[in-house]
């Protein structure tokens, strides 16, 4: 992430919500984000700057890169949560919190279920069930995360950091489920 200084010495990377004209928070309207992203991308299309100076062209390319980075961050719940926590002084990538044994056991059971789905009589059905279960867990974690980030106190921010790590586990699981689904389709 760049640390180029923007208006008032504020880091440009700290302006993602402002860039899209969205209120800062975990719960955002993804449809609105996509619509504003497309609008910004159109306004910075290289054809619009074909006759511009090299400096203006370079600035347009930099701005487009910033928009792409901001969009990629805000549309992904894990990246959005990490970004919000960084803005509040917590870098969850530096510290790995202690995850409770119940959660870790749940993860082991889900991984085992994924492996069993590979050899199941109807693997597609098992994967669909597993996918639904993982999605429900993600939704619950995201709800807890939104509340913790909204509260914003030191203790709840620490809780939010733990929730981000848990959410990462489920996002990885969902990606592995989808990969296996694609393998079975081939």
DSSP H or E segment with residue 41:
helix 30-43
Find the Cα–Cα–Cα–Cα dihedral 84, 87, 71, 45, rounded to 10°.
Answer: 170
Contact between 170 and 145 under an 8 Å Cβ cutoff? The reply is: no
pLDDT tens digit string along 140-177?
999 999 999 998 888 899 999 999 999 999 999 999 99
Domains of the chain plus CATH, in order, are 7-75 (1.10.287.110), 101-185 (1.20.1280)
pLDDT by residue for the chain (186 residues), tens only, comes to 333 333 333 443 558 999 999 999 999 999 999 999 999 998 887 778 888 888 988 888 888 889 999 999 999 999 999 999 999 888 888 877 889 999 999 999 999 999 999 888 889 999 999 999 999 999 999 999 999 999 888 889 999 999 999 999 999 999 999 999 888 887
**Residue 64 corresponds to which tokens in the numbers above?**
């487009």
pTM score, whole prediction: 0.83
């Amino acid at each position: 992430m760049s640390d180029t200084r923007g208006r008032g010495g504020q880091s440009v990377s700290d302006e993602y919500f402002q860039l899209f004209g969205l209120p800062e928070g975990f719960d955002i309207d993804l449809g609105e984000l996509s619509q504003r992203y497309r609008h910004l991308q159109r306004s910075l299309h290289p054809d619009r700057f074909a006759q511009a100076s090299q400096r203006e062209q370079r600035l347009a390319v930099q701005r487009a890169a910033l928009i792409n980075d901001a969009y990629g961050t805000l549309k992904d719940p894990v990246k959005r949560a990490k970004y919000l926590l960084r803005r509040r002084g917590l870098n969850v990538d530096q510290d790995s919190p202690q995850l409770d044994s119940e959660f870790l056991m749940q993860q082991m059971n889900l991984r085992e279920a994924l492996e069993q789905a590979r050899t199941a009589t109807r693997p597609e059905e098992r994967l669909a069930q597993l996918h639904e279960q993982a999605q429900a867990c993600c939704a619950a974690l995201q709800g807890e995360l939104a509340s913790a980030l909204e509260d914003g106190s030191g203790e709840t921010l620490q809780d939010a950091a733990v929730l981000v790590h848990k959410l990462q586990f489920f996002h990885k699981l969902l990606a592995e489920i989808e990969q296996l689904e694609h393998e079975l389709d081939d």
